[in-house]
Homo-oligomer: A and B are copies of this chain.
C-alpha cells in the first residue's frame, strides 16, 4: 500500500513511488495552472503524466489532495525570497534585491505563480489556513522591519504592508497576466525592461 493514512506506519517511499509522484505533481502543476482547479480534469493530468487515471488515484487520494500538495509545497519556495531579507543589511539594497528575486521567480516559474493566483482569486479555499499560519507572521515581521528602517531615516516613510503588496502585484503581474502583456508588448524584451523599470520605481519610492 502506497498511500499513507493517519494510522499507518510511515515507510520509505520506493523509487517507483518517488518517480511517479513527481511525474504526477509536475503534470498537475501544468494542468492546474493553465485551467484552474475546477477547469482541470484528472484525465488531463493523467495524460500529461503518462499514467492512467486509476494509477494517479493509487498515488493520491483524490484531485483535491494533488492540488493541496502542490500548494503547500509551493508556499515555502514562494516565501523564501522574503525570508532572505537581511535585517542587518543596507535597507534599499535588501528591498531592491527582493524585488529582483520576485521578478525573476515570476519569469522562471510562471506556472507556480498562476497556480497561486488562481487559488487566491477563488478565495483561497484550500490554503486559507496556511496563509494565516505561514504568510501572516512573515509579512508582519517584514512590514515592521521596513517601517523601522524608515523611522531610522534609512528609507523614505512608507507603509510596509502596502509596499509588500505593491511588490507582489508588480512582479507577479508579468506571469499572471502574461496573455495581456504579450498582446501589448509584441516583440519587446519584456523581462529586461521590467527589471529596470521596477528597480527605478522602488528606488525613487524608497531612496532617501
Contacts and interface: CB of A to CB of B under 8 A. Distances in A.
A198 B122 CA distance: 25
Interface residues of A, number: 53
Nearest to A131: B183
Nearest to A207: B204
A100 interface: no
B156 A166 contact: no
Contact of A124 (B159, B170, B180): B180
A164 B205 CA distance: 17
A170 B165 contact: yes
B128 A166 contact: no
Contacts of A131: 179-180, 183-184
A117 interface: yes
Contacts of A194: 162
A169 B173 CA distance: 6
Given A121-B121, A168-B173, A183 B34 contact: no
Nearest to A139: B184
A168 B169 CA distance: 9
Contacts of A112: none
Given A131-B180, A158-B197, 11 more contacts: A36-B38, A38-B38, A39-B122, A117-B121, A120-B177, A120-B179, A122-B179, A131-B183, A162-B198, A163-B197, A169-B177
| Minimum-distance CB pairs A-B, first 9 | A38-B39, A169-B173, A162-B197, A169-B169, A124-B179, A131-B183, A123-B179, A166-B170, A169-B170
